[in-house]
Structure 1
Amino acid sequence: MSSSVNSSVDNCKTPNNITYQALSWLMAGEFILGLPLNLSVLYVFIFRFKFWKNNSIFLFNIVVADFLLVVCLPVEIYHYQHSLRHSDNRVVCKTMLFMLFLNRGASIAFLITLSLDRYFSVVHLGRKNCFKTFEKSPQISLFIWLLLLPLTIPTMVETFECCNSHGRKVETFYHDVTDTFREIIYFSQIIFPFFILVYCTCRIVKRLKRKTVGEKAKLRRAMFAVMSVVIVFSSCFLPSTIARAALLVVRLNNWEETELVAVQVYDGLMVLSYTDCLLDPIVYCFCNSGFKDAYISTFCPSFLQKKLLKSNSEVPNTPTTTTVTSGAKIACLPMLEKK
């Protein structure tokens, strides 16, 4: 490979400064919007909704993962502004990669866990749902976080240099095995959960369509809930994963000029994947109308509160309800258990 390509990719330099300046401003926008949004969601979950009383521990863990991701964005913005794909400081680079891998993995893990909970609650109604027990236990959430830690180890090994991977300076068998293991983890973290999510969603939608015609309003809200997870997952994680696969193909075939473009596409889609922290609150609202009511009554003006809360009351209640501490009315999300 030519020296120019090595200097632009191997040494962490951005192949096109204009592209990465634009991406840095996009990340700045994500940070400006994401920080207050996630802080407000954290506030509602802890002080107004009291997630531990409403069995919404999994949702709260997604909030924590999103918040930690938002906190990492200023470092990435700084690097892009200074024509670096990642920090040239080994400690800073690996710390950032560790945080991004961990937060991304946690967000995916808890989204999938929520989907499996909905799947068993709707498709296998009447059978014992172990996820209901899991969601009430903080120990299970802690176990999921600890389980994710070993999956971040590939980001800390010595062979990793600025997203360097297969086809790049593979000098020893150790390098080759390490790079292979890293890519297996990267892709399995997306592909397997995606198929699980699609399967659960299709089964849930099929089951809901067999319900009575008189429950159309409730069915729409339930289907919106499960579909919101699919949309967030597909729009945030799949594009960057496809771009990563394309980048590996380009590198393995030593297409030097194409690699410069593939790197920019991959980094650009990774930046777009950070919008996950802006879209997840939609999932919270669809999965738990109690949280939505608490958020509306906390941050929306009075005239909007009346209109939005009134629209919720038009959907008939089910026997399962949860009171929010904001003083709003008791509300229930049909077909999805109220957390």
Structure 2
Amino acid sequence: MVANISSMVEEPNKTNSDNCSLESDNWTFTYVPPYILSISVLGIVLNIFVLMVFFLHKKPCTVSEIYLSNLAAADLFLVSFLPFWAVNAWNKFDWIFGLAMCKIVKVSILMNAYCSIYFLVLVSIDRYLAVVHPLFHGGMRRPKFAKICCVVVWILGLILSFPRLINTKLAPDKNITYCSEPNLVVSEWMILVLGFFIPISIIFFCTVNILRALRNRFMEGVKTRRNDHKANTLVLAVLLAFLICWVPFHLRNIPTWLNKAGMLTDCSSKNIQYVCGQIFTYLAFFNSVLNPILYVIVGRNFRDKLKELFKQWDQKRSATISITSARTKLLRSVKSQQITN
């Protein structure tokens, strides 16, 4: 999903063969850095908050919660590296952090893209089995199997990001050094096929069948279990948010390919492509902030966990205070006895 980021946010000042160029005081140099930093700070705080609720709660996570917690970890992984992009944009895309960080930041963003979409695939499959095949009690809906699937997704994300690790280089151009990937064609098609079309097809299939099964149950007067209804609502909200944030990014590749084919080559078209590329890229990044907000607003199970966690902390605090007061009373009684003796 982020394969084309290097081509659209790193070299805006380069002059094209037909003398098309963007102004040096482009809005991306002034407004984008604060926006990215805001996303980074909010994303770090909110996703750590979500992970704390999932991991500190006394009850074990359900299969869906295991997948969603890993999705939060992937979002946290992404936003933790966004400040480097903010500084890069502030410096008018002059990379100052060296080759190693150039590779690490690029790979981390791409890994998030792959891992996020495949965690959503796992969530969709789990909800599909729970709603469409409710009598299915095989190993696929067990927490142990879910954890194994998450490990596989992380490894897959790293493997699919490995070509970027090799190809990313520092490209000096006059007084500016760009962090770029020269050979983007293979990466673009890998992301488009493996990181979008295939997983989105699976998600679409699962979602359509989930909605169809829920509609049939409603028509037949069959009530959905309260916990299943909560989980389905949250999953559908997260999927919708993902599509809203990421689909525009892939659609902006269409005019880019037309440009490479010799169409839409005038300066105004190129400038529109650049502006849309910027907006759609940072809209995609915003998804990492939107997910934890949805957990709180839409996720009733998550809110229940949060309330129970606060009760746990309150009980522990009350127990600590009572123990402290009991010790204080005991010490006072001992001292008073010593004085009387």
**TM-score, normalization by structure 2:** 0.71
* Alpha-carbon distance in 1 for matches of 2:230, 2:254: 36
1:123 aligns with 2:138: no
Corresponding residue for residue 215 of structure 1: 223
* One of 188, 207, 228 as aligned partner of 1:201: 207
**CA separation of 1:327/1:251 partners in 2, compared to 1, >3 Å: closer, same or farther?**
farther
Judge conservation of contact 2:67–2:146 (CA < 8 Å) in 1. Answer: no
Instruction: Check conservation: 1:247, 1:263, Cα contact below 8 A.
Output: no
* Structure 2 gaps, min length 5: 1-10, 172-177, 316-341
CA distances 1:190-225 after superposition (whole Å, capped 9, x unpaired): 122222212211111111112254737958646523
Residue 31 of structure 2 aligns to a residue whose secondary structure is: helix
Residues 17-68 of structure 1 show CA distances to partners (whole Å, capped at 9, x for unaligned) of 22342122221221232222112112112212565x5443222211110111
* Amino-acid identity (%): 22
| Cα deviation code 1:116-156 (max 9, x no counterpart) | 11001111221344431365453332122112222112322
CA contact (8 A) 1:49 1:326 kept: no
CA change 1:63–1:145 in 2 (3 A) is: same
- Within 5 Å, give how 1:251-290 maps onto structure 2: 251-253=260-262, 255=265, 257=267, 258-282=269-293, 284=295, 289-290=300-301
Q: Does 1:186 align with 2:191?
A: yes
Letter in 2 for 1:81: W
Match of 1:143 in 2: 152
User: Aligned partners of 2:128, 2:165: CA distance in 1, in Å?
Assistant: 36
> Do the aligned partners of residues 153 and 259 (structure 1) sit closer, same or farther apart at CA in structure 2, a change above 3 Å counting?
farther
Shift of 1:246: 2.4
Match of 2:109 in 1: 100
Deviations 1:285-306 (A, max 9, x none): 589643321224557xxxxxxx
- Structure 2 CA distance, aligned partners of 1:100 and 1:15? 26
Which among 222, 233, 236 is matched to residue 245 of structure 2? 236
Question: Over the residues paired in the alignment, what is the CA RMSD in angstroms?
Answer: 3.5
Question: After the TM superposition, which of the residue ranges 42-51 and 68-77 deviates more from structure 2?
Answer: 42-51
Measure the CA separation in 1 of the matches of 2:77 and 2:121: 19
Letter in 2 for 1:187: L
Q: Would you say the 8 A contact 1:8–1:14 is kept in 2?
A: no
Distance in 2 between the 1:260 and 1:227 partners? 35
How many positions carry a matched residue from both structures? 287
Which of 244, 254, 257 does residue 245 from structure 1 map onto?
254
Aligned to 1:7, what secondary structure does the other structure show?
Answer: coil
Matched AA of 2:200? F
The offset of 1:108, in angstroms, is: 1.0
SS at structure 1 position matched to 2:14? helix
Q: Is the partner of 2:154 in helix, strand or coil?
A: helix
One-letter amino acid of the structure 2 residue matched with residue 264 of structure 1: V
State the AA in 1 paired with 2:290. Answer: L
Aligned to 1:304: none
Query: Hey, what does 2:337 align to over in structure 1?
Result: none
Q: Match of 1:241, as an amino acid?
A: H
- Inter-partner Cα distance in structure 2 for 1:193 and 1:113: 10
Q: Give TM-score, length-normalised by structure 1.
A: 0.71
- Alpha-carbon offset, residue 78 of structure 1: 0.6
Provide structure 1 residue ranges, at least 5 long, that are not aligned to the other structure: 170-174, 300-323, 329-339
What is the CA distance between 1:115 and its match in structure 2?
0.6
Secondary structure at the aligned position of 2:252 is classed as helix
Structure with higher helix content: 2
Query: 2 CA distance for matches of 1:39 and 1:9?
Result: 43
Displacement of 1:89 after TM fit?
4.1
Distance change >3 Å, CA 242–CA 110, structure 1 → 2: same
Identify if the C-alpha distance between structure 1 residues 232 and 9 changes in structure 2 by more than 3 Å, giving closer, same or farther.
Answer: farther
DSSP 3-state at the match of 2:135: coil
Instruction: State the Cα distance separating 1:164 from its structure 2 match.
Output: 6.5
